[in-house]
Structure 1
Amino acid sequence: MKNVFKLSLLALLLSSYHIAEGQTKRKPNIIFILADDLGYGNIKAFSAKSPIPTPNLDQLASEGTKFTRFYAGNTVCAPSRCALMTGFTMGHAWVRGNAKAKDGLAALRAQDTTLAQRLQNNGYKTGMFGKWGLGDEDSKGAPHLKGFDSFYGYLDQSHAHDYYTNRLYEIVGGKTVEVPIDTTKYTEDLIVNKAVDFINENKDQPFFLYLPLTIPHAELKVPDELLKKFQNADGSSKFQPETPFEKKGNYDSQAQPHAAFAAMVNKLDTDVGAIVALVKKLGLENDTYIFFTSDNGAHKEGGADPVYFNSSGPFRGVKRDLYEGGIRVPLIVRAPGKVPVGKSDATPWAFWDVLPTFGELTGTSTPKNIDGLNYAALLKGEKPAKQHEYFYWQFNENGLKEALTKGDWKLIRFKEEGSPEKLELYNLKEDIGEKNDISGNNPATVKQLYALMKQAKTPSENPRFDWSAVEK
């Protein structure tokens, strides 16, 4: 009997051990929050000069690591998000610029595998709430075809300019469909509420939450109660002088654009705080990586004033530029016990590295033909075994722009159809503001980087982004 008892006890202990071992090996949750056109200098943790309060983002940075040389996929939203989702640079991506979602060429194809698809296939519940921008409901790039179990928000970036609208889109019955909404509701609130529901519903299993919020992109519009926080008792703006913005294109009029922009950034901060608080309340913080960044640099549309708010921080340029202000974005990563606390890291990496990095964090396979590299070691405060030799971008609005960084060197190429090219060279270590073009004094470096720039790209498969005519 004693031997039977001992064997039973041993079996019970082994069973308990395997249960505990299984619990400790739970795959981590990942929450990836993407702001829309938030500048590097709009968060106090990255720029003490920012006059807008961002207490929740500042706390997130203090509880994790901030990366000060992290790059967006591009300088506008759709191609940047394509790089994030597929792991390709602008030298190889299918979507290399903005275009209407109704234009089938702006949508991801059936063969374009996304980060969400890979995590979904690895047992993750996947949800996206906010702005997609990579395919409408009838395209091969619709959210339900690209790895998301749940989606609620905008499909098209133009539609996402409207914070009060009569419709959004949602995955219902396994399909992405249009759903009517109350035109008096601020869509940011609706989107964040859906994200909160998703976390609550999936708290007991590994989940990937992609939260591409639409603020603080133009138009500059917030509910009155949020605007009042940045107004004086008499209703005037606390951020003087104000120059009223008159309705133009997609953007509605705004009497106090400075106050409205500040309110939108502060609203973004509040919503991030709500997500972090929920993760803590549910006891998920030790199992959850929280990433926060922006899709590109600060914008100057709809009355936005990036100079007034020092939105680009120490950098030159804004959205649509390939200077650092257009592509260098803030990144905060928080994961207690996994990511160093209160650290700042200047190692360069980019959107296309997110897919393989998440692969390492979650035990998810990574395709071998992408441009991205696994930078998961960086999240532990270590140097990755392999890093990029260089980083490359291209963008075409009013002529072709290309940029390449290698170490501290940066080459920018400008080319308009029928005109000679122009090359600019900067040393980012000595000239972070890219004020002094030193191409004339460094012909050998220009030649080396120019050769890499040619090596970094292939002609676009997508005729919508075929810019070969500009090269003539």
Structure 2
Amino acid sequence: MKKHLILAILCIVLLQMSCAKKQKIEVEQEVVTSPNIIYVLADDLGIGDIKAFNPDGKIKTPNIDKLAQGGMKFTDAHTSSSVCTPTRYGILTGRYNWRSKLKSGVLTGTSKALIPNNRATVASFLKKNGYYTGFIGKWHLGWDWAKTQSDSLLGNGWNPGDFKNIDFSKPIKNGPNDVGFDYAYGHSGSLDMAPYVYVENGMPTAMPDTVTVDKGKYTWWREGPTSPDFVHEDVTPNFFRRSFNFIKEQAKNEKPFFLYLALPSPHTPILPTKEWLGKSGLNPYADFVMEVDGYMGQLQAAIKEAGIEENTIVIFTSDNGCSPQADYKVLAAFDHNPSSIYRGHKADIFEGGHRVPFIVKWPEMVKAGSVSGKTICTTDLFATCADIVNAKLTDNEAEDSFSMLPLLTNNEKMFKREATIHSSINGSFAIRQGDYKLVMAPGSAGWSFPKPNSKDVASLPEIQLYNLVTDPGETQNIYNEHPEKVAKLKALLQKQILEGRSTPGEAQKNDSVANWKQINWEKSR
């Protein structure tokens, strides 16, 4: 009897120990798989503006460099588009921007919402998986302002009279809160696009009481209604201050958090505060970059002070290449090139339009000082987050997103991105696979020489092929020398466009519109 009793007690003890051990493992896995995620998106920041990516650069960026030293630097990172709105769409949806109804160009401050409420975003996905989600910054994905009359139409946002029918006393619809963000604070378009009004959780924070405009060389913004709490020079500092408070408050909670901090800088208006004006010794744009860097140092300090540094992922990147508004000629006089060794700039299909700095710091999982040369895209955030929280994606979610987790954990062979598609401001395509990049347009397809529809492109070939390993500056079009490579890449581009996805899964539909460049491909499907 005693023997049986001893055996029973021993079994109970072993069972309890097993359960305790299992619980401990689950807790440890929870710590590993549920990190806080902070995604900082700079605006029009060139890859050559960050010392960690361009040692020859003349702008001092010690804090962003330190971020790179503490994590992984990606030297072949790209945005899906070379302009603002499309890239932001791709980041949040994990879907190439041209699959949406926006096939070219950008939205304005009065544009309607681009992301439907029923489309999954990184925010809605993480929210569903236990995260508290926050957006602070420049939205530029459209939302629906309240109108003074139900049948009144708003202007397109480019002219001073386009805002007369907005009722700023009423909440907006179809904004960040409607696509997954628990908390949202920001403005509708770029910092040079009216209306200049903050919106917090769907409600304008103040009624516009003035109309402002600036026409300075660096400081210009379009004319439009401005709220008393909206001070252009203070917008970037304001967003950072609110982010520090967000981090401090969320660090107290058990839930992990996701913060999407979308900066309006160093995009125009180029407005470094007095503290930073003249600091670079180059020009106001360089000063503005240094201001962003300074605040990135404060952000890292806020994370550390909150006691969450080890298991917080900080991602820093830009929405496209540097804008010509930065004044490349002045910077060149100081031997500084915002595009580094790459051709072109914002809006272009060339590398300078979409190759960007990209850093991931995650002390608990990512080796400090590591570097990845794999080609990644900003659409890859969604699948990476899904991988981190160990949750599956459905066929109509993140159709062009590949998890970067294998790269972050030194398991490169498991990274599945086959190719990357880029688009320029006019909707032209390029596809990158391995060393080669095929451009389906003559010239820059953007703002740099040779521009679309100019006499300079009339005699140029309709396609371009570059080997980016031997010719990173895209100086030698070798399409005539490699017809088989051209045919292969063109077929892959067509396949990934027509199937509505570039990831494995059931084919999806693109949001087609009339006169789309690829409409003939759709018809021939």
The answer to whether the aligner puts 1:335 opposite 2:362 as a matched pair is: yes
Structure showing greater Rg: 2
Cα contact 2:111–2:144 (8 A) shared by 1: no
User: Secondary structure of 2:279's partner?
Assistant: helix
Q: Residue 360 of structure 2 aligns to which amino acid in structure 1?
A: V
Partner of 2:390: 363
Partner of 1:246: none
Tell me how far apart the structure 1 counterparts of residues 373 and 234 of structure 2 sit (CA, whole Å): 37
**CA shift at 1:361, angstroms?**
0.9
Q: Deviations over 1:191-219 (max 9, x none)?
A: 11111111111113200011111111111
Tell me the percent identity.
29
Cα contact 2:328–2:338 (8 A) shared by 1: no
> Where do 1:63-74 residues align within 5 Å?
63-74=70-81
Q: Please, which of 192, 198, 205 is the counterpart of residue 161 of structure 1?
A: 192
User: Secondary structure of 1:292's partner?
Assistant: strand
Q: Residue 63 of structure 1 aligns to which amino acid in structure 2?
A: G
Change (3 A) 1:387 1:189: same
Instruction: Give the gaps of 5 or more residues in structure 1.
Output: 231-237, 240-257
Cα contact 1:219–1:301 (8 A) shared by 2: no
Q: Deviations over 1:14-48 (max 9, x none)?
A: 88767755543231110111110111111101101
**CA shift at 1:161, angstroms?**
2.4
Q: Please, which of 221, 225, 229 is the counterpart of residue 182 of structure 1?
A: 229
Q: Deviations over 1:316-336 (max 9, x none)?
A: 110011111111111111111
What TM-score do you get using the length of structure 1 for normalisation?
0.83
Cα contact 1:107–1:140 (8 A) shared by 2: no
Change (3 A) 1:464 1:17: farther
> Where do 1:321-332 residues align within 5 Å?
321-332=348-359
Tell me how far apart the structure 2 counterparts of residues 367 and 417 of structure 1 sit (CA, whole Å): 41
Instruction: Give the gaps of 5 or more residues in structure 2.
Output: 146-171, 207-226, 443-451, 499-508
Partner of 2:177: 144
Q: Residue 429 of structure 1 aligns to which amino acid in structure 2?
A: V
Cα contact 1:129–1:153 (8 A) shared by 2: yes
Change (3 A) 1:137 1:176: farther
Tell me how far apart the structure 2 counterparts of residues 327 and 155 of structure 1 sit (CA, whole Å): 23
**CA shift at 1:102, angstroms?**
2.6
Tell me how far apart the structure 1 counterparts of residues 260 and 78 of structure 2 sit (CA, whole Å): 18
The answer to whether the aligner puts 1:272 opposite 2:296 as a matched pair is: yes
**CA shift at 1:96, angstroms?**
3.6
The answer to whether the aligner puts 1:435 opposite 2:482 as a matched pair is: no
Q: Deviations over 1:332-379 (max 9, x none)?
A: 111113011111110111112210111111233323341212221101
Tell me how far apart the structure 2 counterparts of residues 318 and 110 of structure 1 sit (CA, whole Å): 33
Change (3 A) 1:449 1:225: same
Cα contact 2:103–2:516 (8 A) shared by 1: no
Cα contact 1:357–1:376 (8 A) shared by 2: yes
Q: Please, which of 194, 198, 211 is the counterpart of residue 242 of structure 2?
A: 194
Q: Please, which of 386, 406, 416 is the counterpart of residue 377 of structure 1?
A: 406
Cα contact 2:39–2:315 (8 A) shared by 1: yes
Cα contact 1:136–1:156 (8 A) shared by 2: no
Change (3 A) 1:327 1:228: closer
Tell me how far apart the structure 1 counterparts of residues 100 and 25 of structure 2 sit (CA, whole Å): 41
Tell me how far apart the structure 1 counterparts of residues 441 and 403 of structure 2 sit (CA, whole Å): 31
User: Secondary structure of 2:199's partner?
Assistant: strand
The answer to whether the aligner puts 1:319 opposite 2:342 as a matched pair is: no
Tell me how far apart the structure 2 counterparts of residues 183 and 109 of structure 1 sit (CA, whole Å): 28
Partner of 1:390: 419
Note the aligned Cα RMSD (angstroms).
3.1
> Where do 1:174-323 residues align within 5 Å?
175-179=202-206, 180-184=227-231, 186-203=234-251, 204=253, 205-230=255-280, 238-239=281-282, 258=283, 260-301=284-325, 303=327, 307=332, 309-323=336-350
Change (3 A) 1:372 1:217: same
User: Secondary structure of 2:342's partner?
Assistant: coil
Aligned length in residues: 435
Cα contact 2:321–2:354 (8 A) shared by 1: yes
Cα contact 2:82–2:425 (8 A) shared by 1: no
User: Secondary structure of 2:292's partner?
Assistant: helix
Change (3 A) 1:287 1:417: same
* 299-308 or 14-23, larger mean C-alpha shift: 14-23
Change (3 A) 1:264 1:5: farther
Partner of 1:119: 126
Tell me how far apart the structure 1 counterparts of residues 415 and 68 of structure 2 sit (CA, whole Å): 26
Q: Residue 422 of structure 1 aligns to which amino acid in structure 2?
A: E
User: Secondary structure of 2:325's partner?
Assistant: coil
Tell me how far apart the structure 2 counterparts of residues 321 and 379 of structure 1 sit (CA, whole Å): 29
Change (3 A) 1:228 1:394: closer
